[in-house]
Structure 1
Amino acid sequence: MTPRLPPAESLTVEFKSDRKRLSDNELVEAIVCLANAEGGELWLGVEDDGTPTGLHAEHQMLDGLPGLVAARTSPSVNVTVQALEVDGVSVARIAVPKARSVVATSGGVYLRRRIRHDGQPECVPMLPHERESRASTLGLVDVSALPVAGATLADLDPLERERLRQAVQQYGGDRVLLELDDEALDGALGLTVREPDGSRVPTLTGLLLLGRESALRNRVPTHEFAFQVLAQQAVRFNEFRRFPLLKALEWLETNFRPYNPEEELQVGLFRVPVPMVDMAAFREAVANALIHRDYHRLGAVHVRLEDDALVVSNPGGLVEGVTLANLLVTEPRPRNRALADAMKRIGVVERSGRGVDTIYRGMLKFGRPAPDYSRTDAHNVVVRLPTEPADLDFRRLVVEEERRRGAELPIDSLIALAALRELKRVTADELAGRIQRDAASAKRTLEALIEAGLVEAHGAARGRSYTLSAAVYQRRGEKAAYTRQAGFTPIQHEQMVLNYVRQHGQIRRAEVMDLCRLSEGQAKDLLKRMQGNGLLKLEGAGRGAFYRLGERGLKTDENG
C-alpha cells in the first residue's frame, strides 16, 4: 500500500522543502532529531504547510541517501527511502527508526524533536543532562549506580543509616543486611563505590537513601517531593521537602494518615479494616514514583489528595519497553536499577518487581475502580487512585475466598471478579484486554473461578460468556440480579423466537440477537438448531435471509 502524505507535521512527521536543495547537513540533522525522539518520517520535497513542491534535480536519484545518512550519524542510523509521486510532483519519504541509543551527527551535533507549548513540533539542541536522561530511559546507563560529583562520605547521615536498619526490620527486608557493618552495608546496597585510589564515595543511591538534606539540596537538585491536599478547590496542605527517601516515605505516610478515614467490616469473627486508600497501594505508588523518577529532570514528585482520588505523579515518562498496554505483564525495567534493588532488599517495595500488582490489588479488592494511568505521557508518569466508597459485599467475598484458599487471589482472578462486578457479563476476549494477556489465559482464569464456585459460564465455543455465580449473587442479596444476568435457558430462547415469528411472520438473525440478547455466534447456533429440528425454515440467502415457521413449528402452533 502506497504511503499517503500526512496532513501536518507532528512529533513523528517532518516536512522539508527541497526547492533550493536541502543541504546534506540539514537533512542529517533533521533525521537525528527524529531518531532521538520516537522516530518517524521525513518527507523531502514538501513545504512546512504540507504542500508538495517536489525534489531538487540533484535529489532525483535517491539510491545513495541511506549510505550518506549512515556515514554522517554516530552511531549510524539506518533509514529507508521511498520515491513517491504526490499531486504530480516527486517527493521522498524517509523512514527514520527510533534510536536505541543517543545519536549525533558525525560533526557532534545532538538534537531532539519535541512539541512546543502551541502544539507545533520543533528540533532543539539536546543538552548533556538530556542525553543522560535519554540513555537512562533506554536502559543504557544506570545513573543511580554512579558516584555523585563532589560527594564525600561526610554527606551521609548516620541517623539515616540507622533508619535504614530499622526499615529492614519494619518491612521484612533482607535480614542479612542487619549483620553487616556500615562499610559492608554500603557496599551490599550500592550506596558507595571505590575510587581508583581506594577511597569510597557515595553513589546517587547512597545520597538518596542516606544523604544529609544539605547534601541532597546541593548535589541532587532535582530531588524534591510534595504532599498536597485539595478539598473543593481549597488547599488544606501543601508542603515541599527534600528528605532522603526512607524519611520521605515516613513523612508522607504520617501526613497522609489523618486524611485517610477507615471503617471496619465484620467478616465472621474478624474485623476487616476498610480504608479510603489502601496503605499498601499508597506506599507502593509513592515509593515507585520516588524510585523510578528521572533524576535528570527538574520537577517534584507530587502526592496529591483530591476530592475524588489520590494522584501520584513523577517526572520522567515510562521507560523503554513499558507501555500502558503491558504495565501488568511486562518484565520489570527500572530506570534507576541500583536504587530499585536497594529498596527491594530493604523491603520497602515488592521484591518481585510486581509493584503495579500491589497497587491494582489495593484498589480492586475493595470493589473500587482499577488504577488509572491514562494521564501518563512522555514526560510524566501519573497514577490516579479513585477514592469512591468501597463495595463492602465485594470486599467480604474476596476476604472469604482468600481465607478459604489460605492465600491471596491471583491478580488476574481479582481483575476478573472486578470486571464481572462492573460489567455483569464478560467474554474471555473482553477480559483479556483487562489482564493484558491473550484470550486463552483469560479463559483459564475464568474457568478456575468456575471451579471455585464464584463464576458460571453460559453458552459454548465462541459465544461463551461468564457471570458471577448464583451463590455469589445470593450472598450479596441479589437473587433477581442473577436471574437477569444469567438470562434464559435454550428452551426459553426457542419459545421467544417462535412467539416472535407467530406475531410477525418471520425473523432475521439480527432480530434474534436483539430479542434474546445473544451474540452473533449464539444466535446463529440457536437458529441452526431450530432449523434442524423443524421448528423453523430458512428462506432467502445472504443479507436477505430470514426464517419462517417450519413444519414442526406449524404443528406446535396448531396444537397450541
Structure 2
Amino acid sequence: MSIQVVRVEANDVAKILDLDEAHFSDLKSVDIAPGKLTKSIAALANADGGELYIGIDEVDKTKRLREWRGFPGVEEANGHVQAFDGLFPLGQDFSYEFLQAPDIALGLVLHVTIQKTRTVMRASDGKVYVRRGAQSIPYTLPEDLDRLSRNKGITSFESQTVQAPIDSVANSETIIGFMLAVTPSAEPLPWLTKQLLIHQGKPTVAALLLFSDEPQAALPKRSAIKIYRYKTAESQGTRESLAFDPITVEGCLYDQIRASVQRTSDIIEQVRVLGPQGLEPITYPHVTLHEIITNAVLHRDYGIADDVHVRVFDNRVEVESPGRLPAHITEMNILDERFARNGSIVRLINKFPDPPNKDVGEGLNTAFSAMKKLKLRDPIIRQADNSVIVEIRHQKLGTPEELIMEWLESHDEITNKRVRDLTGIGSENEVKRIFYRLAEAKQIERVPGKGGGSAAWRNYTGGVEPVDIPPVSDEGTGLF
C-alpha cells in the first residue's frame, strides 16, 4: 500500500501539537505498540469517526506541552501500517497519510482519518472499543454490544418478539381499520405473518407499535411521547419553570404522531415573545413540527427504555429521540444520506391512509425548507450520549445588525440583553462588537446618560459624540 507524504507548514504543525485529545481526535507517540493503537482506531470507527496522529510526544500533560517526533522514514512505519491495514483497510472508511514538518529531521507523523463505520470494528486484541470523550471504552457486556449493533444498524429492536397476546395486533381496532382501508381482501393474521410481524406465535415490537391499540401496555416507558411546556428561554427547563404537568401521548404510532403534532402546535400558539413589534406569537411551520416529530418516532431506538420528549420553551422547541444516529449517519451528512433503523416500521406506516412519512427519506429536508420559507434559522441537530436532539429555534434569518435596526424602527432604544434575546447570541462582548460596528458606520449611537448595566443604544442622530471603540476581550462579563 502506497501512502502519500504531505508536507505541512509550521503553522499546521503548531495546530496539530495544540489539538485537544477529545471525542474526535487522539495523539500518540511512535513508541506505542501498533496493537494498542488499534484500540484508538476501532474506538473512533465505532463512535463518530475522527483522526489519529502517530508521532506526537507528550512532554508535559498538565501544561499540554508536546513535541513532533515522527518516524524517521516511511519504511520505519511499515509495522504500524501493516497492523492497521489488516484490520482497517485503506478505503472508504480509513485513509492514511504521512505528514512531513518543515524540518525533515523531525520525521513523519502518520495521520489516520477514520470515518464512522457501518460495521462493528474490533482491535487487534479482538475486543470492541468505543470512543467517549478522550477515552477508548471497552464494550464487553452483552447489552453494550447489542446497543452498539443497533446504533450501527446491524440489528434493530423492532424485530424482537414480545410476550403479548396475538389478538392485541390481529384483532385490534387499528388493524381492522388498516385492513379495510389498505388491503380489504386480506385477513389480519395471515397478512401480519407474511409481513414477518408475527414470529413463533408472538408479535414483534414493530407489530405492537403499528397495530396495537395500546402498545404501551406491552412496551412501557419506551413507546410514548411526552410533551413539556417550560416558561423560560434558559438552556435547561426546571420544575419551577414547568407550566403544567407533562402531557403523555400514547396509542399506535400513527395516532401518536398526529396527536403529538397537534398538541404541540396548540401549546405553541399560546406562547408570546417580545419582538420588534412588541409581544408576538411564536410561529413555526406546521410541516416542520410534523416532520421532526415523525422522524423522532420512526427512527428512534426502541431498545432504549425511554420515550420521545418534546419540550416547548419560550424561544425554541426541542425534540429528543432515544438512540444515537444509526449506521453511517452523522450530524453533518444527515440531510444527504439515508438509513432506516426501523425498516419495517418506516415501510408499513407509509401504507396507512395519509401516512405521516409521505416523502420517505425527505422529512428533515422538508422541515429545513419550510423554516427557510418563513425566514427562520435552520433547525439544529445535535447528538447526546444516547439520544438525538433537534432544536427548532424562533430566530429570524436576518443578521444581528438587521435585527437591531428592525427593532429600532419601532422602539426608542435597545440594550445588549435585548439583542441577545433576539439573536440567540450568548456573548455580551460579541454584541458589544456589533454595537461598535454600527456606531462606527453611523447607524446607531449610545443613549446619553445611560451607562453600566443600564447602557442602551438608539438610532443615529448626530447629536452624540462618536464612540471611541475600545478593544473588546472575549473574557469577562461586559457592562452593556
TM (normalized to structure 1)? 0.53
Secondary structure of the 1:62 match is helix
Give the secondary structure class of the aligned counterpart of 1:41.
Answer: strand
Matched, 1:313 2:330: no
- Paired residue for 1:338? 344
Higher relative contact order (CA 8 A, sep 6+): 2
Which range is displaced more, 93-102 or 55-64?
Answer: 55-64
Distance 1:26 1:292, change over 3 A: same
Matched, 1:110 2:115: no
The Cα shift of 1:60 comes to 7.8
Change (3 A) 1:71 1:243: same
Shift of 1:292: 0.9
Mapped to 1, the partners of 2:174 and 2:364 lie a distance apart of 26
The equivalent of 1:215 in structure 2 is 218
Q: Is 1:162 equivalent to 2:178 in the alignment?
A: no
Query: Which one of the candidate residues 373, 379, 382 is aligned to 2:389?
Result: 382
1:350–1:214 CA distance, 2 compared to 1 (3 A): closer
**Matched residue, 1:2:** 7
Given residue 127 of structure 2, which amino acid in structure 1 is its aligned partner?
Answer: V
* Unaligned ranges ≥5, structure 2: 1-5, 233-240, 271-280, 400-440, 442-480
**Aligned position for 2:119:** 101
For residue 500 of structure 1, what is the aligned residue in structure 2? none
Q: Secondary structure at the match of 1:28?
A: helix
Q: 1:402-421 alignment to 2 at 5 Å?
A: none
Does the CA contact (< 8 Å) of 2:225 and 2:249 recur in 1?
yes
In the TM superposition, residue 325 of structure 1 has moved relative to its aligned partner by 6.1
Alpha-carbon distance change, 61 to 310 in structure 1, aligned in 2, over 3 angstroms: closer
* Superposed CA RMSD: 4.2
Deviations 1:272-296 (A, max 9, x none): xx99555554333222111111334
In structure 2, the residue matched to 1:12 is: 24
Partner of 1:124: 137
Give me the whole-angstrom Cα distance separating, in 2, the residues matched to 1:191 and 1:90. Answer: 59
Q: Percent identity?
A: 18
Q: What residue identity is the alignment partner of 2:209?
A: L
Unmatched 5+ residue regions in structure 1?
116-120, 170-174, 194-198, 263-273, 389-417, 424-513, 515-560
Measured in 1, the distance between the counterparts of 2:330 and 2:285 equals 25
Correspondent of 1:146 among 155, 159, 178: 159
After TM superposition, list the pairs within 5 Å mapping 1:158-557 onto structure 2.
Answer: 158=169, 161-166=172-177, 175-187=181-193, 189-193=195-199, 199-209=200-210, 210=212, 212-217=215-220, 222-232=222-232, 233-239=241-247, 244-249=252-257, 252-253=260-261, 255-256=263-264, 258-261=266-269, 276-297=283-304, 299-320=306-327, 322=329, 330=336, 332-346=338-352, 347-353=354-360, 354-360=362-368, 363=371, 367=374, 369=376, 371-375=378-382, 380-386=387-393
Letter in 1 for 2:109: A
Q: Secondary structure at the match of 1:14?
A: strand
Separation of aligned partners in 1, 2:284 and 2:351? 25
Question: Residue deviations 1:154-196, cap 9 Å, x none?
Answer: 2762598323554688xxxxx3334421213424654324xxx
Deviation at 1:230, TM superposition (A): 1.4
Show the counterpart of 1:496. Answer: none
Contact 2:27 2:53 in 1 (8 A): yes
Distance 1:387 1:208 in 2: 32
Gap change, CA 1:90 and 1:385, over 3 Å in 2: closer
Q: CA deviation at 1:255?
A: 4.2
Contact 1:317 1:380 in 2 (8 A): yes
Question: Are residue 28 (structure 1) and residue 44 (structure 2) matched?
Answer: no
**SS of the residue 1:46 aligns to:** strand
Q: Partners in 1 of 2:73 and 2:35 — Cα distance?
A: 15
The 3-state SS of whatever aligns with 1:237 is: coil
Measured at CA, do residues 386 and 40 of structure 1 come closer, stay the same or move farther in structure 2, by a change above 3 Å?
A: closer
Greater helix proportion = 1
Whole-angstrom distance in 1 between the partners of 2:295 and 2:377:
17
Structure 1 counterpart of 2:67, from 48, 52, 61 = 52
Aligned residue type for 2:52: E
CA distance in 1, matches of 2:74, 2:90: 24
CA deviation vs aligned residue, 1:478-530 (integer Å, no higher than 9, x gap)? xxxxxxxxxxxxxxxxxxxxxxxxxxxxxxxxxxxx9xxxxxxxxxxxxxxxx
Shift of 1:301: 1.6
SS of the counterpart of 1:51? strand
- Which residue of the partner structure matches residue 80 of structure 1? 96
- Per-residue deviation, residues 246-293 of structure 1 (Å, max 9, x unmatched): 45335535644652549xxxxxxxxxxx99555554333222111111
Q: CA deviation digits over 1:66-121, x for unaligned, max 9?
A: 22234467999866363746885445324143234211124321001121xxxxx1
In the aligned structure 1, how far is the partner of 2:226 from the partner of 2:196?
27
Q: Retained in 2: the 8 A contact 1:225–1:300? A: yes
What is the aligned residue count? Answer: 357
State the secondary structure of the residue aligned to 1:283: helix
Partner secondary structure for residue 37 of structure 2? helix
